[in-house]
Amino acid sequence: MALQQSAFAKQQEKIAHLQKFIARFKAKASKAKQAQSRVKALDRMEKVAPLLAEADFSFEFREPANLPNPMLSLQEVSVGYPAPAGKTEPTVIVRDISKSVLAGQRIGILGANGQGKSTLVKTVARALVPLAGQVVEGKGLSIGYFAQQELDVLKPADNPLEHMIALAKETAAAGRLAGQETREQDLRNFLGMFNFGGDMVKQSEGSMSGGEKARLVLCMLVWQRPNLLLLDEPTNHLDLATREALSVALNEFEGTVMLVSHDRALLRAVCDEFWLVSRGGVAPFDGDLDDYQRYLRPLKKQLAQAETEMNTLQAEQTELHQQLACTTDPGQLAAAGKRLKNVEQSLEQLEERWLELSEAIEQAAGTSSAGAPP
């Protein structure tokens, strides 16, 4: 509790510092932009400060060794999966992405299920090779990737300490993180900060709970001292306290965050800009999370309208089919045939529209299905 109190006090201090900066520079045109970004940071911080007071676990990301700017840039990148055996065509999921990711940006990635959010993040994380275009990385880019499937990467027979030792060896062998503490005691201390104390560092991973595994992966992530965090549904396995701790830690993280989450509270606390992955493309979403919800409301109305029109046309289509079957009069046949063609064309267009609208609406479900609104 003492630690927590001091962390809380520290954050209050930071808030005071930000407030001073804003007060001093708000009126100064040359510093207006910096002041603006601090207004945003302050806003985020004030939202999470009370959380910290309740959480019984907290951690922080370490200050990144450097902050390349841009972190990376995507140049006409298409993401997807290589051709399956026996086929020649790869499966493109999202195409023609040209975007830069800058130092300090906090990007929330929105989109309905199956639109390609994970595929995009995996490609940035180098777990997938782009199918076209290129990803140009900033010098010194150090990616920390946290995904659900990442939990399966843990070796069931190994315990947290063994995982940390392996990670330390790996990074040392790769020549990264020079000067990083690697003695067993250091690693134990590090694990201790993530509530793996005493005998728990020796508990086999296979017998750990989902939440404990997630906490271990988080620990390994922080240890790597990334400057770009790629988080794909990071909170699914986390308990409330750890979730809050993550939210606070992300808030104070000085690097760049790209976050995919259905947890609106987390998106709200962490991100201040959004990308929308939809229908094979990525577009910036011009607004905040509330705008995103609002933007979907008229869509529902349009969807209902499209449904009504479709029903009317379908009824007419059935009737025309009957007419065509029963009528012998050539004039009537021709008229019914012509009308049927029109009806079917309109139906096809409506169906397409209906699909588009439903997709857009699923995105609403995508960001509102979990996480209580703050």
Please give the full DSSP string across 30-85, using - where no structure is assigned. GGHHHHHHHHHHHHHHHHHHHHHHH-S----PPPPS---SSSEEEEEEEEEEPPPT
Question: Tell me, what amino acid is at 161?
Answer: L
Number of residues that bind ligand ATP (CB under 6 A): 11
Instruction: Candidates 34-42, 108-116, 310-318, 349-357: pick the segment binding ligand ATP (CB under 6 A).
Output: 108-116
Considering the complex, what minimum distance in angstroms separates the CB of residue 363 from ligand ATP?
10
Query: What φ, ψ does residue 328 adopt, rounded to 5°?
Result: -115, -15
Query: By C-beta, is 206 or 281 nearer to Mg ion?
Result: 281
Considering the complex, what minimum distance in angstroms separates the CB of residue 24 from ligand ATP?
43
- Roughly what angle, to the nearest 10 degrees, separates helices 184-193 and 160-173? 120
336 close to 320: Cβ distance less than 8 angstroms: yes
Give the count of alpha carbons within 13 A of 130, CB side only: 17
Binding of residue 235 to Mg ion (CB under 5 A):
no
Binding of residue 160 to ligand ATP (CB under 6 A):
no
Q: Contact with ligand ATP (CB under 6 A): which of 81, 95, 102, 324?
A: 81
- Roughly what angle, to the nearest 10 degrees, separates helices 240-252 and 2-25? 40
Q: Contact with ligand ATP (CB under 6 A): which of 114, 210, 373, 374?
A: 114
The alpha carbon torsion through 184, 185, 186, 191 (nearest 10 deg) reads 90
Please give the full DSSP string across 238-282, using - where no structure is assigned. --HHHHHHHHHHHHH--SEEEEE-SBHHHHHHH-SEEEEEETTEE
Burial letters for 249-275: b for 16+ Cβ neighbours within 10 Å, e otherwise?
bbbbbebbbbbbbbbbbbbbbbbbebb
Q: Contact with ligand ATP (CB under 6 A): which of 44, 117, 163, 213?
A: 117
Considering the complex, what minimum distance in angstroms separates the CB of residue 326 from ligand ATP?
45
Considering the complex, what minimum distance in angstroms separates the CB of residue 126 from Mg ion?
17
Rounded CA-CA distance 354/348 in Å is 10
Binding of residue 111 to ligand ATP (CB under 6 A):
yes
Instruction: Candidates 38-46, 113-121, 208-216, 307-315: pick the segment binding ligand ATP (CB under 6 A).
Output: 113-121
The interface partner of residue 113, options being Mg ion, ligand ATP, none and the CB cut-off 5 to 8 Å by kind, is: ligand ATP
Considering the complex, what minimum distance in angstroms separates the CB of residue 362 from ligand ATP?
9
Binding of residue 119 to ligand ATP (CB under 6 A):
yes
Alpha-carbon separation of residue 315 from 137, 343, 360 (angstroms): 57, 10, 27
Q: Contact with ligand ATP (CB under 6 A): which of 64, 116, 138, 234?
A: 116
- Greatest pairwise CA separation for the chain in angstroms: 95
Binding of residue 115 to ligand ATP (CB under 6 A):
yes
- Give 107: exposed, middle or buried? Use CB within 10 Å, 0-12, 13-18, 19+: buried
Binding of residue 369 to ligand ATP (CB under 6 A):
no
Query: By C-beta, is 39 or 370 nearer to ligand ATP?
Result: 370
The interface partner of residue 6, options being Mg ion, ligand ATP, none and the CB cut-off 5 to 8 Å by kind, is: none
The interface partner of residue 116, options being Mg ion, ligand ATP, none and the CB cut-off 5 to 8 Å by kind, is: ligand ATP
The interface partner of residue 93, options being ligand ATP, Mg ion, none and the CB cut-off 5 to 8 Å by kind, is: ligand ATP
Considering the complex, what minimum distance in angstroms separates the CB of residue 93 from ligand ATP?
5
Phi-psi region at 369: left, alpha or beta (left = phi > 0; alpha = psi -120 to 50): alpha
Instruction: Candidates 118-126, 182-190, 310-318, 365-373: pick the segment binding Mg ion (CB under 5 A).
Output: 118-126
Query: By C-beta, is 205 or 232 nearer to Mg ion?
Result: 232
Rounded CA-CA distance 141/371 in Å is 31
Return the SS3 of 229: strand
Instruction: Candidates 8-16, 114-122, 134-142, 331-339: pick the segment binding ligand ATP (CB under 6 A).
Output: 114-122
Rg, the chain, Cα only: 26
Q: Contact with ligand ATP (CB under 6 A): which of 77, 93, 201, 220?
A: 93
Interface residue list for Mg ion (CB under 5 A): 117-118
For ligand ATP, the binding residues (CB under 6 A) are: 81, 91, 93, 111, 113-119
